[in-house]
Amino acid sequence: MFAAVFISPKVTPIYQTSVFTFEDLNALEAYFEQPGQSYMYSRNGNPNTDELAEDVNQLERGQGAVATSSGMSAILTALLVYCQAGDHVLSAEEVYGGSAALLSQELTRMGVQITFVPMAEMYSFEAQIQPNTKVMLVETISNPKMTVLDIAKVAQVCQAKDVKLVVDNTFASPVITRPLELGADMVIHSVTKYLSGHSDVTAGVVIAKEATDAQRAKQIVVAWGLTLSPFESWLAARGLKTLKLRMRQHSENALVLATYLQQHPKVGEVFYPGLPDHPQHEMAATQGNGQFGGMLSFRITDDVETVNRFLRGLTHMPFAPSLAGVVSSISYPKGTSHRALTPEQRENLGITIGLIRLSVGIEEPEELIADLEKALAAI
């Protein structure tokens, strides 16, 4: 009979369990006296979830992170770390529609005051700060118009006024920008997007500059039940292994497609920071280490049937309300990501009928151009 030989696995196994066992009461007490040394219940912690959080923490160079059940729960967690009923939150006006809805429709019900700052005032918003202002929420690259914020510049204003800066770094990823190094206090990601990268995970993550803020985020996730499952944590951690390679290809392809679209007679405007005429091109090149990401948007005629003909003309790119997968996809901000906004809000942001968002994948760019050419020919 052969003796059992235990070999350390190269890849972390999936700990698909809701609960862990203890040998006796001494082991139970050790769990509470020595946090992080063992596990009890997967809502409180799981090896797969912790691995994902630590991997992203290393990429963002933070002092602690916690994985969450979605990008939205990551945003909620980050805000709850810094504010409570009676406090005031600032947010860039041009943010993901779900973030805007969370702020204006849900946090206001909890007694939190919200003010949206126009993009033109993002470096001079001192007048918007109140005595009870606790936090400013911004995006590194905004959704859907691809406005790039100078994070260090925003951080200077926040630090001078003792306001915490939370940055949604989903569109950039830590490969392109690391906001904590530029003065942010907390970074969040929808792991669903670039970090996981294969459109098969729903997850989020919160990364903090200070260990105490990371600990508080962990408490919120556990208490509110915002924990990520072991299997999705495992999938996301696997996706992270190719993040740098994927981001390079996403960026290269997006620049090729943005250049093509900018020259097309049926396209009115193209929004991509990699284009030389983008308003923040030079700053984005410096802040993004020469990469500009895989997201762009463009405008065709403001007519519903024209948009429908374009969408139906695509063969390779699915019309899907998400982004950042290895397969390119098209989204429609007016009807999906920013649907919850009022018509007036969408008009102020330039989110019109003809605005289309393109998540550029890692396919051969010639294939993508051929698909766009066919769809544009149909309008």
Last residue of a domain, one of 177, 212, 240: 240
Active site residue 266: no
Last residue of a domain, one of 240, 260, 288: 240
Query: What pLDDT, on the 0 to 100 scale, is given for residue 198?
Result: 97
Q: Which of 15, 39, 96, 332 is catalytic?
A: 96
Q: Mean pLDDT throughout 218-242?
A: 98
Indicate whether 373 pLDDT > 90: yes
Helix, strand, coil: what percent of the chain each, to 5? 40, 15, 45
Cβ-proximal residues to 28 (8 Å cutoff; 6+ apart), any chain: 22, 40
Q: Tell me, yes or no, whether 6 lies in a domain.
A: no
Please answer whether residues 20 and 41 qualify as being in contact, where contact means their C-beta atoms are separated by less than 8 angstroms.
yes
Count of domains observed in the chain: 2
Cα(303)–Cα(283) distance, integer angstroms = 34
Can you give the residue range of the structural domain that contains 142? Answer: 25-240
Structure tokens given for 155:
């951080």
Residue 256 and residue 202 share a domain: no
Residue 169 and residue 147 share a domain: yes
Task: Tell me the percentage of the chain whose pLDDT exceeds 90.
Answer: 89
Q: What is the DSSP letter of 120?
A: G
User: How do residues 91-100 score in pLDDT, each as one tens digit?
Assistant: 999 999 999 9
Per DSSP, the three-state class of 180 is helix
What's the CATH number where 137 sits?
3.40.640.10
Q: Which of 43, 145, 248, 266 is catalytic?
A: 43
Q: Which of 168, 185, 213, 371 is catalytic?
A: 168
Q: Tell me, yes or no, whether 129 lies in a domain.
A: yes
Cα(227)–Cα(238) distance, integer angstroms = 18
Q: Tell me, yes or no, whether 9 lies in a domain.
A: no
Indicate whether 233 pLDDT > 90: yes
What confidence tier does 339 reach under pLDDT thresholds 50, 70, 90? Answer: confident
Active site residue 216: no
Last residue of a domain, one of 224, 240, 256: 240
What confidence tier does 35 reach under pLDDT thresholds 50, 70, 90? Answer: confident
Active site residue 43: yes
The DSSP secondary structure of 191-239, one letter per residue, reads TTTTTT-SS----EEEEESSHHHHHHHHHHHHHHT-PPPHHHHHHHHHH
Query: What pLDDT, on the 0 to 100 scale, is given for residue 96?
Result: 92
Q: Tell me, yes or no, whether 250 lies in a domain.
A: yes
Query: What pLDDT, on the 0 to 100 scale, is given for residue 340?
Result: 77
Q: Tell me, yes or no, whether 301 lies in a domain.
A: yes
Structure tokens given for 38:
């063992």
Q: Mean pLDDT throughout 51-73?
A: 98
Residue 229 and residue 261 share a domain: no
Q: Tell me, yes or no, whether 113 lies in a domain.
A: yes
What's the CATH number where 302 sits?
3.90.1150.10
Residue 187 and residue 293 share a domain: no
What confidence tier does 337 reach under pLDDT thresholds 50, 70, 90? Answer: confident
Query: What pLDDT, on the 0 to 100 scale, is given for residue 322?
Result: 87
Query: What pLDDT, on the 0 to 100 scale, is given for residue 1?
Result: 47
Residue 286 and residue 198 share a domain: no
CA-based nearest residue to 220, from 112, 353, 82, 90:
82
Residue 177 and residue 51 share a domain: yes
The overall average pLDDT reported for the chain is 95
Active site residue 194: no
Query: What pLDDT, on the 0 to 100 scale, is given for residue 294?
Result: 98
Q: In this predicted model, which residue has the larger pLDDT, 118 or 335? A: 118
Structure tokens given for 326:
């290895």
Query: What pLDDT, on the 0 to 100 scale, is given for residue 379?
Result: 94
Query: What pLDDT, on the 0 to 100 scale, is given for residue 366?
Result: 97
Measured CA angle at 143 (ends 139, 146), to 5 deg: 85
User: How do residues 259-269 score in pLDDT, each as one tens digit?
Assistant: 999 999 999 99
Indicate whether 6 pLDDT > 80: no
Task: Tell me the percentage of the chain whose pLDDT exceeds 70.
Answer: 98
Per DSSP, the three-state class of 74 is helix
Indicate whether 314 pLDDT > 80: yes
What confidence tier does 101 reach under pLDDT thresholds 50, 70, 90? Answer: very high
